Structure 1
Amino acid sequence: MAGFFSILRRFYLTAYNWIVFAGWQVPSIVLGFENSKGIRVTNFSYTASNKFKIVFGVGVLYSFPEVQTHPLISSLVISWCITEIVRYSFFGTKEAFGSTPYWLLWLRYSTFLVLYPTGIASEIAMIYNALPFMKESGLYSVRMPNKWNFSFDYYYCALVVLAVYVPGIPHLYGYMLGQRKKTLMKPKKE
């Protein structure tokens, strides 16, 4: 019976990873198509994420139209798409076949060197640019008094998120560098 659940788990994880991989292909393909037609990439980025209901920073990009044409949306979408396409193809291949080709392993543990800084910088910039609109609109905030006797301010929550990025980025980047070293820099067997 344990063998059946192991096979079921592997099938589920393989299917899940390839379905998510395919989902990340949609904005990538549309980006390439619309960019080849000379359409401004910033217009594409939000339009595609909205068209396909892909969760591109829903709390900021979807909610605050004032930042939807910011030039950094392009680097955000491109960084996320490439990162997720590599990640899910890596895990899908690993689940399906038990291992991955070296080139995919290398991509998984090398593309973050560029994509994490560009993606994270874009995320920070988009949150920062949306702050005045968050404060002015009060969107997603819960004010007192109310029947739950609870208060929440989305603006201050966004400030906390920005503050968490400061210690979080070096930690995440250091972790990935360690994983890269452990995975790609293994001593060769003689």
Structure 2
Amino acid sequence: MAGVWSLLRRFYLTAYNWIVFAGWFQVLFLTLKTLKDSGYEHVYSSVEKPLLLAQSAAFLEILHGILGLVRSPISATLPQISSRLYVVWGILYSFPEVQKHPLISSLVISWSITEIVRYSFFGTKEAFGSAPYWLLWLRYSTFLVLYPTGISSEIGMIYNALPFMKESGLYSVRMPNKWNFSFDYFYLAIVVLAIYVPGIPHLYGYMLGQRKKVLTKTKNA
């Protein structure tokens, strides 16, 4: 029975990783094509659907960790996935005014390259039991550049959306109301920006530690 479960787990995770890989590959292809043909102003409109689908699929990774399908700690997975879901749905999708900003391009390119490498690494590892060293190296090295460019683009997009949040009042709950409750989406965004301050060095430090651990172990093997 354990053998059947292990086989089903590997089949599912292999399929999951390669399907999401294909989604991010499409995002990168459309981004580069649009930049070449039309300019950065049209990047979001060209990638919106595959971007939303590919990034939303990452929610399953939280469930994978909870169910024990993967060994990735929830403490590392949850903040990164949550922040990205917030950016794609709570910022990019919700505020069309920022959808033509130049930072969309750096954001999407940083994310898509990172995820193409990551999902191909795990897809190969699940399918064949291991991945080639060059793919392992990319998995634990590309973040050195792409994490700073991606995270700075995330922060920039949230910051640029702030005036539109305040003006529109979208997702905010004003008093008076029958629940006697108020909520301001603008101030939530401020809190999110503040969380990035301790979150960035924590996650970057964690990834540096993982890189050293994995590459050293591989080199000594």
How many Å separate the matches in 2 of 1:170 and 1:117? 10
Which segments of structure 1 move beyond 3 Å, counting only runs of 4 or more?
144-150
**Map of 1:15 onto structure 2:** 15
Q: Percent identity?
A: 74
- 1:95 corresponding residue in structure 2: 126
Bigger-Rg structure (1/2)? 1
Specify the alignment match of 1:188 in structure 2.
Answer: 220
Supply the AA of the counterpart residue of 2:142: T
Corresponding position: 1:34 with 2:65: no
**2:58 equivalent to 1:48:** no
1:114 to 2:145 alignment: yes
Aligned length: 187
Structure 1: 5+ residue stretches without partners: none
1:84-126 per-residue CA deviation (whole Å, 9 max, x = no partner) reads 1111111111111111100110011000000000000000011
3-state SS of the aligned residue for 1:52?
helix
Residue identity matched to 1:26? Q
Q: Which has the higher helix share?
A: 2
Displacement of 1:28 in angstroms is 1.1
Question: Could you give the per-residue CA deviations for residues 19-48 of structure 1, whole angstroms, max 9, x where no partner exists?
Answer: 1001111111112323343x21x2232112
Question: Equivalents in 1 of 2:51, 2:202: separation in Å?
Answer: 31
1:81 counterpart residue number: 112
Post-superposition shift, 1:53?
Answer: 5.6
Using structure 1 for the length normalisation, give the TM-score. Answer: 0.91
RMSD: 1.7
Amino acid at match of 1:43: E
Gaps of 5+ in 2: 56-86
Instruction: Give the structure-2-normalised TM-score.
Output: 0.79
Q: In 1, Cα distance between the equivalents of 2:11 and 2:48? A: 31
Q: CA deviation at 1:145?
A: 3.6
